[in-house]
Structure formats: C-alpha cells, structure tokens
Amino acid sequence: MQTLNIFPKPVSLVVKPGTFRITKSTPVVASGEAQQAGILFCDLIAPATGLKLPIQRNSSAQPSIVFKLNPSVKLPPEGYHLTISPKQVTVQSPHLAGLRHAVQTLRQLLPVSIYASHPISGVDWTMPYVEIEDYPRFSWRGAMLDVVRHFMPVEFIFRFLDLLALHKLNSFHWHLTDDQGWRVEIKKYPRLTEVGAWRRHTMVGHWNENKTTPQYDDIRHGGYYTQDEMRQVVAYATRLGINVVPEIEMPGHAQAAIASYPELGNSDEKIEVSSGWGIHTHVYNVEESTIKFMQDVLEEVMSIFPSTFIHVGGDEVPKQEWKDSPRAQQRIRELGLSNEDELQSYFISRMDNFLTQHGRRLIGWDEILEGGLAPNATVMSWRGEAGGIAAAQAGHDVVMAPNTYTYFDYYQSPDNTAEPLAIGALLPLETVYSYEPIPQDIDESNIHHILGVQGQLWSEYIPTPAKVEYMVFPRLCALAEVAWTAAGQKDFITFKGRLAAHLLRLDQLNVNYRQLD
C-alpha cells in the first residue's frame, strides 16, 4: 500500500486495505455542473497516464469514478466527501468548488508520476481505498504575485495558477500596477500601456547599495497583458476553482500612470516610469477628473474580472506632494476635510462607493484605515496584524497578510550568503507554518471577519519565473496548510516529513523550489 500524503492535511482520512485501478475504460460519471469537475480530473490525469477516460452522464455497473453535486450532503463551503471502494470512486459535495478540491486530492492519491507532463509507462494508476471528509478552515486562501517590478509572461501565470490549485488555494491576487509599470491594457487610456508598461532600464543590485550613485542595467524592461489574455487567465483560474483579484494601485504607487498621463499628477515635473525600488513620492491628485479616470479604469477592470473583490492598493502614500500643492490644499478645504490622511480616505471612499454601486467590494492594504475607513472596505493587513485587528473590531472583513509571516520576498535562511539576493529580513518555512491568522485580541463575535490568509511575492529582486518558484516554494506549501487545516491539526515536525514527500510532486512538475534544510 502506498503512503498517503494529502496536502494540505485533510480534516479526516481513513485508509482501508486495497486499491482502485484506473484503466482506459474506467468511466468518469458526472452530469450537469459536476461535469466540470469530471472534465478537470480527466484533463489533469491525461498527460502522465496517456488515458482519455470516457465521460458519461449516468452511472454504469462497471468500476467508475463518480462526481456528484449533492445539496443534501452537509459540509461547510468548499467541502467534499470522497470514498474509494472496490467498485467505485465517489466524490460528493454540495458545491462545485468542493468537487474541484476533490480532483486535487484524487491526483494526490495516485502515484507521484501522475504529475509528469508526458506519458509514463509501466505505472499502475491505482488509488488506495479511502474515506475522506475535508473542508477548509478559511474561505480566503490566497497568493499575491507582483508582475510589475518584473513582468511575468502569461504562460507562467497559468503555471502559477496550477500550483495554487494543487495546494487548494482559491485566490490569486494579481498586482498589476505600480511605479515601475502598468500591466493592464485599458482601451480608453492606451498610453497606460504604450508608455506606462515600459521602463528604460532597471536598478542593478540591492536598493540599499544604490542610494548615492544608483546603478542600472541598459535593458528596456516591460510588458503588459491584453484584455483577451486576462480573460483567458480568469477562465483558466475559474476552471481550477480560483478567483482572480486584480489590484490597481491608488492613490500612491502611481508613477507609471502619471508618466503616461501627467495630468493625473500634482506638479509639472516631467516624470518617467520608475527604474528603481522603494517608496515613491509621486501620487495621484484628487481632482474630479482623476477620480473619473480611475473609475473608468475600474470599469474596464470589472469587465475583465468577475471577482467580487477589487483591490485598490492604498499602501505607502507619501503625503508630501499634497502638502506642497496649493491645489491639493484647496481640495482639502473644498471637501471640508482636515488633513492629507482624510484626503486619501476621501479618494478611497469614492472608489468604495463606485465599486459598491457596481455590486463589487473594495479591498485595500491597511493604510486605508489611516484617515478613516471607507464604509464597505475590506482590509488586507500587511504591516503586522494591528490594521487587521482594528478593522475586524470595527466590523470590517479582513485578509491577514502580515509581512512577518507571509512575505515570500524575504530570505528563507539566516545564512544570506548562500541565498540569492532578496529584499532583506528573514522568513523561514517554520515561521510561515507557525502563523495563526486569528489574533488573540479579536472579540469572539468578530472572528468571522477574518476571511483568511495570503502569501505575498513582491518582485523587486525576482526577475524570472524560476526565481519566483524558488522564493514561493516550499513556503506556500506551509501557508496552504495554515489556510486550510484546523489549528489543532498542525504540527511542524510531521509537516516537514509530509512536505518532503509532497516535494516529489513538485519535482515531477519541475518546480524550482528551495531545498529543505
């Protein structure tokens, strides 16, 4: 009997003696919406097995693999029930999301070469008899990827989504705009990508070593995603059970947009798309025309991304330009506000109203709390947990993304010299695993506001997909378990053992993960 290593660890798992064998004539039985899960299963096992399993609507007598949407199975959201017995594999869930997670579990029950990209001969495609009941602890299980500081080709986005789904993560936060580039095609404002998607060159080495005489390479860098490509990404993600949350930064991290449309800025200074790192001083002005511009952008963004949540950034907004600008000061008075923090809140509130009117929900980094939180806003808490706690206590939803536990751009080992260049700090695997997303100081009645947890990959020092994989894995495996598995079921020692076996799957997929210590 093979060792069982379902990842993240399921709620309950009972193994029985015996195995179920998949052959070329094993039918997959699914009807209605459940067919989507059946097709996903067939598609995912086809490359390694070389099998094209027949898909049927109705059950037949022979051994078969059945996917069933069953509203009477009582399970929390995204839960599934899986039984493998001599005659039948049965997957049941009240929701399609649960059936999709079960597909990933089934794949993990097969021999590890199921993850190969080409047919492997001489393997018996068997799964042990099991009884599994499984559901996630949190509804937001996310990963953020910054494709601005370094552009990532769309093919890699598909691969990244595959890897998220494998870990039962369900939210892909796509950081699409920043000082160093604008990566979303917006039909109404073509200069955002004609100008804003490109920078002349890029800083070489660490920002700390570049403060006096910055060094740059001589390579133009950039790229963007067309609306068609982004729609393909959304479709691909949906099929895997992943929601794509786009992020359009405002009112800071705006230099690429201001370089494209200078009227969005606060001065006549000619600025370029940034080539360096750190917090930038150029922010949007708060003219009505700029608010309209951002809402036009959001309108196109909403037409591409069906996600309820739309991320508007809101982090790291230096207030100096607003302090220095007579126009911004006049706006503060006109709007009856008392300071620049409130001006930022005003900006975000206008977006909150706009998104709410369109049936969407605004989410932003915890700085959106500073001048007063917009009424319907959800907070992503990155500067530790304080912002998340304050927001939850005030009755707002929260996604926990504290840098101290979830920033995968930090070093993985205290011995930096043996590691590729990173932004700094230290975040070892064990620290990620130890994270408890529900802080002690939240009242019982507000705990439900903690939607979940998310890992972040900022890409200042991450120029290639291979390095993304190095920084993300295996830390994302730990985060997946933080997000899925009940706190009482977690144990780092046994996790590490299971992880070693799980990494064999990533080997088959040629994931460039960091080796375990």
- 443 flagged as catalytic: no
Residue placing its CB nearer to ligand TNX in the complex, 127 or 422: 422
Question: Are the beta carbons of 56 and 83 closer than 8 angstroms?
Answer: no
Shortest Cβ distance from residue 145 to ligand TNX (Å)? 12
Nearest one of 283, 297, 281, 295 to 250, comparing CA atoms:
283
DSSP designation for 514: P
Q: How far apart are CA 483 and CA 269, in angstroms?
A: 46
| C-beta of 162 vs 316, nearer to ligand TNX | 316
Active site residue 321: no
Give which of 179, 367, 370 is closest to 280, Cα–Cα. Answer: 179
CB 168 to ligand TNX: min, Å: 25
Residue 82 Cβ vs ligand TNX, minimum distance, rounded to whole Å: 38
Min dist. Cβ of residue 479 to ligand TNX (A): 16
Instruction: Label the pairing between strands 80-84 and 126-134.
Output: antiparallel
Nearest to 301 by CA among 291, 315, 311, 292: 311
- Positions that interact with ligand TNX (CB under 6 A): 315-316, 365, 382, 407, 409, 423, 458, 460
Q: How far is the CB of 315 from ligand TNX (least distance, A)?
A: 3
- Shortest spacing between CB 458 and ligand TNX, in angstroms: 3
User: For residue 338, with 0-12 CB atoms within 10 Å meaning exposed, 13-18 middle and 19 or more buried, which class applies?
Assistant: exposed
How far apart (Å, rounded) are the C-alpha atoms in residues 463 and 114?
30
What is the DSSP code (8-state) at residue 3?
A: P
For ligand TNX, the closer of residues 300 and 315 by Cβ is 315
Question: Of the two residues 78 and 460, which places its CB atom closer to ligand TNX in the complex?
Answer: 460
For ligand TNX, give the closer residue by CB, 397 or 409: 409
Cβ atoms of 35 and 55 within 8 Å: the answer is yes
For ligand TNX, the closer of residues 80 and 365 by Cβ is: 365
CA 379-245-420 angle, to 5 degrees, is 90
| CB of 380 vs ligand TNX, minimal distance in Å | 8
Instruction: Return d(Cα 162, Cα 237) in angstroms, integer.
Output: 8
Dist CA 382 CA 476 (whole Å) = 17
CB nearer to ligand TNX: pick between 224 and 461: 461
* Dihedral angle, C-alpha 7, 457, 388, 439, nearest 10 °: 40
State the nearest-atom distance from the C-beta of 198 to ligand TNX, in Å: 19
- Residue 473 CA to residue 203 CA, distance in Å, equals 26
Task: Say whether 178 is catalytic.
Answer: yes
Q: And the tokens for 387?
A: 């912002």
Query: Which C-beta is closer to ligand TNX: that of 315 or that of 370?
Result: 315
From CA 155, how far away is CA 141, in angstroms rounded?
A: 22
β-pairing, 221-222 vs 198-199, is antiparallel
Which one is catalytic: 162, 287, 316, 341? Answer: 316
Specify whether the CB–CB gap between 404 and 388 falls below 8 A.
no
Q: Mind giving me the DSSP string for 326-392?
A: HHHHHHHHHTT--SHHHHHHHHHHHHHHHHHHTT-EEEEEGGGGTT---TT-EEEE-SSSHHHHHHH
* Minimum CB distance to ligand TNX, residue 316 (Å): 5
- Among candidate residues 146, 178, 385, 469, the one labeled active-site is 178
**Minimum separation from the CB atom of position 451 to ligand TNX (A):** 17
Exactly one of 173, 253, 280, 449 is catalytic; name it: 253
Q: Long-range pairs for 214-222 at CB < 8 Å and ≥24 separation?
A: 214/276, 216/275, 221/150, 221/151, 221/181, 222/151, 222/181, 222/197, 222/198, 222/273
Of 37 and 145, CB closest to ligand TNX: 145
Nearest CB to ligand TNX, comparing residues 425 and 516: 425
Instruction: Tell me the CA distances in angstroms from 289 to 247, 292, 356, 459, one per residue in order.
Output: 21, 5, 20, 32
- Contact of 260 with 194, CB cutoff 8 Å: yes
Q: What residues are annotated to the active site? A: 178, 253, 316
